[in-house]
Structure 1
């Protein structure tokens, strides 16, 4: 299927599947608050390239905020209350983060979402994220809220099997994708990020909100 070309300056609600929506430009009104918060989080818990259980260095740099943070190393994928590099708790989730996640989830029909973890990914041109499911959380009843800032990315929206051919959805600065319910275990990823220009320079941040515990 050809790439979905969606508007970036106007807020729209575009269904992806039952339980999944693409909210264009939803985060634009609070982009400065989000970027300031990312700077503070990364100062306390610097971005790093984690290693998969198979020993592969991830091309996407990551950090976390909230009660727990998602980590990966040779021992496996998991949530941990402490940053393994510093031994300190992850930075608290900024209110601007939590409010946006709650509002986006409510817009998508998931009222009452209260995330306790936010994985902050930093993409540079050439980085990518392979198809995967978010399955390290204890309760799959809560949705995933994913916020895009910076360079335009091609979001890969698959099916319930890794072999299902994914759709290609163009995500612009300020776009949000929410999925839960029957779409909660959908395989998804990000195609190789292309170089370009954006309001924050030649990079992309992705904020992924979850209820981990």
Structure 2
């Protein structure tokens, strides 16, 4: 008889562990996800889970921040672009790509998940997400105001002078939120990209065409 040899323990992959945990939290919420369910999904013992993340709450908070902060990164990168047209394009197109990432690398949209109704002693998910969205909006608004104030070369000066920066920001944000809803309903990436490109075209037309 051949003696069975014990397989080597699977190397701990923190990113993969956070992804698997996020899937559970997104589906069941923080309160509805047991430590046992987490250890089974992650392939960790309870002691190993606590050693890596401090607690179930620590794992939840890291999962929320890891995936929610991607939206902040989209805006941070977009507003660094040289012209306002590209800023808007990057926000819309990059948001679509984020909303439609493969389930192999993304747990789904936090906004539509059960985790949005939960909180720990240090993180209220709904309030955190609202703060994040507010930050994104203010970041875009500041960039729009700068474009109008500084008179960017590709921005029609006469039209820019009459642009309501807050209203323009609101339009972009409304499109982004609408794309998120469509993605949650199962609209394919190409369909969302077509919508994003049309919205971008219409927005840019208002910035470059003389008022009728």
> Do both share a fold (TM > 0.5)?
no
For this structure pair, what is the TM-score category when the shorter chain's length is used for normalisation? under 0.3
Which has more strand, going by share of residues?
Answer: 1
Structure that is richer in helix per residue: 2
Q: TM-score, normalised by structure 1?
A: 0.22
Say which one has the larger Rg: 2
